């Protein structure tokens, strides 16, 4: 079910339509507004276009860092899993040798 979200940020106002839940859309908008305010405060930039572009860049940077961390976590979990499998295989071989 399509929901409309009215955006009024950085001096620009428009409405988007999305298939997401209205509460989810409001949460995303709130996060973006917070990111915009953070960008303004750390950069000192006030030009709306520059703030929007820099905010988008910073959010993409954050996404890439999270992805890299998740991939690292995934590799570590795979190593642990393979180690456990090897230990189980070894225990089964020892156990079957005693029968």
State the average pLDDT over residues 58-67: 94
Q: Dig out the tokens for 73 from the structure.
A: 């976590």
Return all residues near 14 (Cβ < 8 A) that are at least 6 apart.
6, 7
| Boundaries of domain holding 69 | 3-97
What pLDDT, on a 0 to 100 scale, did the predictor assign at position 31?
95
How many structural domains comprise the chain? 1
Q: Is the pLDDT of residue 26 over 60?
A: yes
42-51 contacts, C-beta under 8 A, 24 or more apart = 48/10, 48/11, 48/12, 49/10, 51/10
Query: Mean of the per-residue pLDDT values for the chain?
Result: 91
pTM over 0.75: no
Contact 25, 18 (CB under 8 A): yes
33 Cβ contact list (under 8 Å, min separation 6): 9
């Amino acid at each position: 079910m399509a929901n409309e979200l009215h955006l009024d940020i950085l001096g620009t106002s428009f409405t988007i339509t999305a298939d997401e839940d209205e509460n989810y859309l409001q949460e995303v908008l709130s996060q973006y507004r917070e990111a915009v305010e953070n960008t303004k405060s750390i950069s000192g930039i006030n030009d709306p276009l520059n703030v929007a572009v820099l905010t988008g860049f910073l959010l993409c940077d954050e996404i890439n860092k999270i992805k890299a961390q998740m991939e690292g976590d995934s590799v570590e979990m795979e190593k642990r899993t393979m180690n456990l499998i090897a230990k189980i295989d070894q225990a089964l071989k020892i156990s079957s040798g005693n029968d």
